[in-house]
Amino acid sequence: MNKENVAGKFDQVAGKVKQKVGEAVGDQKLANSGAAQQVKGAAKEAWGNAKDTAAAAADKARAENHAEGADLKQRADDKAHDIREKITSTAQNVKDKINAKLDDVRHDLHHNDAR
């Protein structure tokens, strides 16, 4: 509830009192003023409700965007992790193949020296 809601409710109550007093004493001007104040109060209250609804919708959208942003960040982090794993795995495989070839060369050198 915001200030427009409160002011609107107050105007409606005050307008109703004015209208009743005006009708009771036969003062049409006061009664009409009370009715107009009630309409004004209802409009203020409706405006306050519209503002509350808009604020709630904005809050929900921000929360959803934050959650969506967190999800996108997590997916990006996961993808980066997968890429790092592939790179380190490939580097390990290359190292293993080079070492295997070097072992073959050493074996051949040792074998040729033995002849």
Give the residue-averaged pLDDT of 80-105.
90
Cα separation, 9 vs 102, in Å, equals: 89
DSSP-derived secondary structure letter, 26: T
- Which pLDDT value is given to residue 33? 95
User: pLDDT at position 63, please?
Assistant: 85
Q: Which two tokens stand for residue 48?
A: 């306050």
Tokens for 30, please give them: 């006061």
Q: How confident is the model at residue 115 (pLDDT cuts 50, 70, 90)?
A: low
Average pLDDT over residues 13-25: 96
pTM, to two decimals: 0.55
103 CA to centre of own chain: 59
Instruction: Give Rg (Cα) of the chain.
Output: 40
| pLDDT surpassing 80 at residue 20 | yes
Say which DSSP state 2 is in: -
Among residues 32, 7, 6, the alpha carbon closest in space to that of 19 is found at 32
